[in-house]
Amino acid sequence: MTELPEPSTAPSTASSVALEVAGLSWGTNRKQILDDISFTIPRNQFVGIIGPNGAGKSSLLRCLYRKTHPDQGSISYFGKAIGRYSRRALARQIAVVLQEAPSQFDLSAGDVIAMGLTPHKSLLSFESMEDREQIVNAARQVDMEHQLQQEFNALSGGEKQRVMIARAIVQKPSVLLMDEPTNHLDVHHQIEVLELARAMNITVLVSIHDLNLAAAFCDRLILLNQGAIVADGAANTVLTEHNLAAVFNVNAQLDRHPFAEHPRITYKFRGEA
């Protein structure tokens, strides 16, 4: 995609709509993968994208961070079409945490976190004391401050994931897109990552497989199946026994979580009543 020059004025971040997707479709010549997706996300909403394997969650996120160009439809952030952002301006607005992490060897965990500062710095500028402080603070938030010097590729899957979250924290985005960020993480760090993302108080769009965690953390859930939205709303309207059976092919019972308002799913296994 051709890079556009830096806009002379900042995008309209005063807009109360963080992200608007309208009529988005994408596919290969053999298969329609995303089919007429439309939704609007107000500023600072925490949204979960759920759906079975192959539903199109990662494909949708790839369109949202401009890795994939949709065949039809539009995407805009803060009232401005995604194609009108320069690469650098988009990186100031959007941070992305993916399952695949950078594979260049020689980078330390600290180097990877420092990459989050790049969109805010001029070319060839050196790391300042303040930058260092931000890197250490972010590493502390994800329990990685003692491993800043360690080679990134020698970290465990979960440690790498936490470094990627720290990189997103120093990037100070307005929107955080996360593709299954809790994969590889033990239960303590799954909760911690979602709590950190919530504490950032920005717009978050996260694809997530654990439906109970999704219900606990997300203000809103978008349920995808075969590339289309089949439900969109609060957890108690999306996570119904009917939707779980029809979309995930599981038998489940729903009740209210004992400590909170959100629903709790109990799966029934073969042979259970």
Which residue ranges make up the site for ligand ATP (CB under 6 A)? 28, 33, 51, 53-59
- The answer to whether 108 and 64 have CB atoms below 8 angstroms apart is no
Nearer to ligand ATP, 154 or 246 (CB): 246
CB of 51 to ligand ATP, least distance (A): 5
CB of 232 to ligand ATP, least distance (A): 16
Nearer to ligand ATP, 50 or 168 (CB): 50
Nearer to ligand ATP, 173 or 227 (CB): 227
CA dihedral of residues 59, 21, 238, 178 (deg, nearest 10): 50
Nearer to ligand ATP, 113 or 222 (CB): 222
CB of 52 to ligand ATP, least distance (A): 7
Q: How far is CA 77 from the centre of its chain?
A: 15
Q: How far is CA 37 from the centre of its chain?
A: 17
CB of 27 to ligand ATP, least distance (A): 8
**Residue 236 gets which letter from DSSP?**
H
Indicate the residue type of 264: R
Indicate the residue type of 228: A
Nearer to ligand ATP, 59 or 141 (CB): 59
d(CA 191, CA 205): 16
Angle at 228 between CA 218 and CA 261, to 5 degrees: 20
CB of 137 to ligand ATP, least distance (A): 32
